[in-house]
Amino acid sequence: MVGDAILARTILALDTPNLGQACEWVQQYRERVYAFKIGGALAMGHGLPIVRMLREAGATRVFLDLKFHDIPHAVALAVRQAAEFGVWMLTLHCGGGSAMLQAARAAVADLPSPPLLVGVTVLTSMDADALREVGVPRTPRAQVLRLARLAHAAGLDGVIASPWEARMLRRRLPPPFLIVTPGVRPAGYDAGDQKRVATPEQALQWGADYLVMGRALLQPKA
């Protein structure tokens, strides 16, 4: 069971291709969670106008999690387009490098209410072996710190990182720089395809600003 205090700092992941189901979840949780996240399943099936549809259902903040990773010009165009639909927050892969991150920042710099730009560091499904497989010789902890510093220097608003790195990041990158943590599971829940996980209480204690949860809330443990 997840308490209201934790839900108030939770971004609920709408991990479904079904628009009707997503709107039902928004209506069910709109008074309880802080924001709602949409990823590829909804965006690919319904396009960015889904942001407006979810707002009509009661989602005041929509987090677009498409993890943009391309040449700087292409990412700048995508970020600007997402901003035009009024997303509250969106993700970019820090692995795209400084030029890409800076181009994204510049693309929305003239807007009165630009979206929060957060950089994905190391996916929570990856461990040291997975990093070595793609040619990264560092531990997840070291790689997360390296990429978070890159994001900070490029002017991003925060990063996506697992709870395991939240305490380290908070010591080195104080507020208002944001730490958003997926890989959050209430005690007793199966980790699924995640590797670096923690409970909501641990993630907040270690320095997370927002938690991302989906299956743990929408598919309660029997």
221 among known catalytic residues: no
Angle, vertex CA 123, rays to CA 64 and CA 128, nearest 5? 175
The amino acid that residue 169 corresponds to is L
Rounded Cα gap, residues 179 and 147, in angstroms: 13
Q: Which residue has the tokens 């209410």?
A: 113
What six digits make up the tokens of 152?
A: 């900070």
Q: Are 144 and 184 in contact (CB under 8 A)?
A: no
Among positive and negative, which fits the CA dihedral 46, 47, 48, 49?
negative
Task: Please compute, for residue 56, the number of CA atoms within 13 A of its CA located in the half-sphere on the CB side.
Answer: 7
Cα distances (angstroms) measured from residue 117 to each of 32, 131, 144, 201, 220 = 24, 24, 17, 25, 31
Catalytic option among 37, 67, 195, 221: 67
Which residues participate in catalysis according to the annotation? 67
